[in-house]
Amino acid sequence: DTGVSQNPRHKITKRGQNVTFRCDPISEHNRLYWYRQTLGQGPEFLTYFQNEAQLEKSRLLSDRFSAERPKGSFSTLEIQRTEQGDSAMYLCASSSSTGVDEKLFFGSGTQLSVL
């Protein structure tokens, strides 16, 4: 068990460019979450998957954001036409739970800076 892995750790991009982040959850975990965290704030929910199905999306997730989890394994989060307001830490978490026993295992995050 190597934990939740996120790549890249840091991403610097120019406004208007597209970026894609990857998350590899703990292998037996069926649930995968994406959160966004800005300085001085807690993690804000973006979206989550149970296996390959995307079951819930936050209103924070504008049309420029898309997430996938093909085959219920790793997940990608893409941001198109990045804006400076997208600068944040993007966190991935996974869980093996199917009910309320929702202990999350977090990755180290991808820090996005949009110039």
Partner 1 sequence: AQSVSQHNHHVILSEAASLELGCNYSYGGTVNLFWYVQYPGQHLQLLLKYFSGDPLVKGIKGFEAEFIKSKFSFNLRKPSVQWSDTAEYFCAVNAPSGGSYIPTFGRGTSLIVHP
List 44, 54, 66, 111, residue binding partner 1 (CB under 8 A): 44
Characterize the bridge pairing of strands 31-37 and 44-50.
Answer: antiparallel
**70 contacts partner 1 (rule: CB under 8 A):** no
The pairs formed by 55-62 with CB atoms below 8 angstroms and a separation of 24 or more are: 60/36
Strand partners, 44: 36
Q: What does the buried/exposed string (b/e) look like for 64-73 if buried means 16 or more CB atoms within 10 Å of the residue's CB?
A: ebebebeebe
Look-up of token digits 């995307």: 54
**56 contacts partner 1 (rule: CB under 8 A):** yes
Least separation in angstroms between residue 21's CB and partner 1 is 15
Residue with smaller CB distance to partner 1, 80 or 104: 104
List 42, 53, 63, 84, residue binding partner 1 (CB under 8 A): 42
Number of residues binding to partner 1, judged by CB under 8 A: 26
Binding site for partner 1 (CB under 8 A): 3-4, 33, 35, 40-45, 48, 55-56, 91, 93, 99-109
